[in-house]
Amino acid sequence: MSDGDTNVHQFRSPGFGRRKTTPHSKGRQLDPTALEEIQALLAGRTLQRDELIEYLHLIQDTYGHLHARHLNALASEMKLGMAEVFEVASFYAHFDLVMEGEVPPPALTIRVCDSLSCELMGAQKILADLPGQVGQNVRVMRAPCMGRCHQAPVAEVGHKHHTQTSVAALAAAAEAHDSHPDIPDYQDLAAYRTAGGYRHLHSCLNGSISVEQVIEVLEGANLRGLGGAGFPTGRKWKFVRMAPKPRLMAVNGDEGEPGTIKDHHYLTRTPHKFLEGMLIGAWAVEAEAVYIYMRDEYPEVIALLKAEIAKLEAAGLSNHTKIVLRRGAGAYICGEESAMIESIEGKRGLPRHRPPYVAQEGLFGRPTLVNNVESLHWVPEILENGAEWFSSQGANERKGLRSFSVSGRVKNPGVKLAPAGITIRQLIDDYCDGMQDGQTFKGYLPGGASGGILPASLGDIPLDFDTLQPYGSFIGSAAVVVLSDQDNIADVALNLMKFFEDESCGQCTPCRVGTEKAVKLMQQDTWNVPLLEQLSKTMMDASICGLGQAAPNPILTLFKYFPEDVPR
């Protein structure tokens, strides 16, 4: 399990069980002790198939790993095939499967983020030096983006995140065994209500405003899906309402796109804005239940949401629907809405073929409204201030506000609420206090790992949905990573391709094999450019979902805009 000379444990990607044979203990006898342990752990629960991942978390949290004998016992209790339980457990990076005869991992794990913004700030050095400082009783693993890219480098000791960290700080944290998340100082239900919160939900519930009026305001504001696809929010609510009842709603809190920090920003400050927007959405589509899918990398958000949802229920604010909070388990692909739905159903996060669209046939086969956290955050704000307030705020003939997640080589990174259509130069100079000292602006990622890499010479184009496609790029979740003359863009593209290789769900060959092959080709001293171009075309044309279709963007934009950096 160790990476040879560096002693860094391998990152187990989602779908690693698909690249090899999924490990599972065929035909094993049930271990009576394991069965008793699982029964004790699940006592008092009515076991549900869709809660399988929750039960796996329970076992992982209790025992520090998922032993084959516990998985066998769980399969037996749930009356599921062993293969079904093993394939789900092996899909998610945060579960540690231990087969018979294998040694369980050490009690403490440190995950070091090596996605782009952290790599720019020295993640590889931490990964190289940390194992020597913490000894054999602590496991050091590389891990993908943790949504705190503006405070890079980032690592997680147990469930506690360390930002702008160092080998010394992480070694001290490991020594102290401090592994619980810090709960931020956020606006709770009482404070939100004192400030007038839930006024708009009340207006909806008591009939002072109709669903049609709410949708009209959202359409007038031109609010578009901030998970990255940019689908108009009001129109989506209308479509879901047209589908037959019963309906459901699912909130996408997966925020895995490297560089994206905005949902975390709002969730850790003003969670009730998003919760009010969510409850208005559930009212609008008459959803019987709302499932909030929150990534496991945000344990403090999961804790605060649990507490605040209980308060909402006690206050009777959510009587019109049922709120269910679900915890992800370390898989970027579960941000893709149909994969998220599969995961909420307790399965592997494999994107579905479309049609049918999730608005017609989503969670448990029901018409489902899927919205991103930030899309919902804006709903009460827009109802409060009016459509005109939101839509009149754009720059360069674009409309609305965008929360840009800025990281990389700027002086003052973070979430920057700015007019949609602002240029990267304005964003760097007016919102981020310019480039770091001694660094010259060379290029930028406008939309995280998926959105391609643009050169400084294209620094004056408006950043918004639909404006970047002519340049082979897109804005997606507006995760902006700023690069400087110190950065080699071929290295940047390789980092991004490794991310896609790790996170490919493995379902389709062009993406599973293509990302792996591309990484190998990009690790050569001399790149085979025609072959990489051919591979890119196949991935774009033949992959099932957006991950495989967008994975070649970094390579193609590197070839187009930074040819001098390509190793030839």
Footprint of ligand FES on this chain (CB under 6 A)?
113, 115-118, 145-149, 152, 154, 258
Q: How far is CA 478 from the centre of its chain?
A: 13
Q: Residue 210 Cβ, how far from ligand FMN at the closest point, in Å?
A: 22
User: Under the criterion CB under 6 A, does residue 337 sit at the interface with ligand FMN?
Assistant: yes
Task: Label residue 458 exposed, middle or buried (CB < 10 Å: 0-12, 13-18, 19+).
Answer: middle
Quick one: 243 or 551, whose CB is closer to ligand SF4?
551
Residues 355-384 that bind ligand FMN (CB under 6 A): 370-372, 375
Quick one: 229 or 529, whose CB is closer to ligand FMN?
229
Quick one: 346 or 452, whose CB is closer to ligand FES?
452
Q: Residue 136 Cβ, how far from ligand FES at the closest point, in Å?
A: 26
Q: Which of 504, 499, 514, 494 is nearest to 558 (CA)?
A: 494
Q: Which of 200, 211, 551, 235 is nearest to 379 (CA)?
A: 200
User: Under the criterion CB under 6 A, does residue 545 sit at the interface with ligand FMN?
Assistant: yes
User: Under the criterion CB under 6 A, does residue 333 sit at the interface with ligand SF4?
Assistant: yes
Q: Which of 480, 550, 146 is nearest to 332 (CA)?
A: 146
Identity of residue 125: K
User: Under the criterion CB under 6 A, does residue 514 sit at the interface with ligand SF4?
Assistant: no
Residue 370 near which of ligand FMN, ligand FES, ligand SF4, none (CB within 5-8 Å, type-dependent) = ligand FMN
Q: Which of 276, 297, 336, 361 binds ligand FMN (CB under 6 A)?
A: 336
Q: Which of 37, 51, 254, 342 binds ligand FMN (CB under 6 A)?
A: 254
User: Under the criterion CB under 6 A, does residue 504 sit at the interface with ligand SF4?
Assistant: yes
Range list of H helices, 198-292? 199-205, 211-221, 233-242, 262-267, 271-284
Q: Can you point out the beta strands (E) in 217-346? A: 247-253, 287-294, 322-327
Binding mask 344-373 for ligand SF4 (x = CB under 6 A): -------x----------------------
User: Under the criterion CB under 6 A, does residue 547 sit at the interface with ligand FMN?
Assistant: yes
Q: Residue 511 Cβ, how far from ligand SF4 at the closest point, in Å?
A: 3
Could you tell me if 427 and 419 are in contact, meaning their C-beta atoms sit under 8 angstroms apart?
no
Question: Which H or E run includes 415?
Answer: strand 414-419
Residue 501 to residue 492: CA distance in whole angstroms: 14
Residues of 29-41 as b/e, b for ≥16 C-beta within 10 angstroms? eebeebbebbeeb
Q: Where do we find the tokens 């899927």?
A: 370
User: Under the criterion CB under 6 A, does residue 545 sit at the interface with ligand SF4?
Assistant: yes
Binding interface with ligand FMN (CB under 6 A): 225-229, 231, 252, 254-257, 333, 335-337, 370-372, 375, 545-547
Binding interface with ligand SF4 (CB under 6 A): 333, 351, 504-508, 511-512, 543-545, 547-548
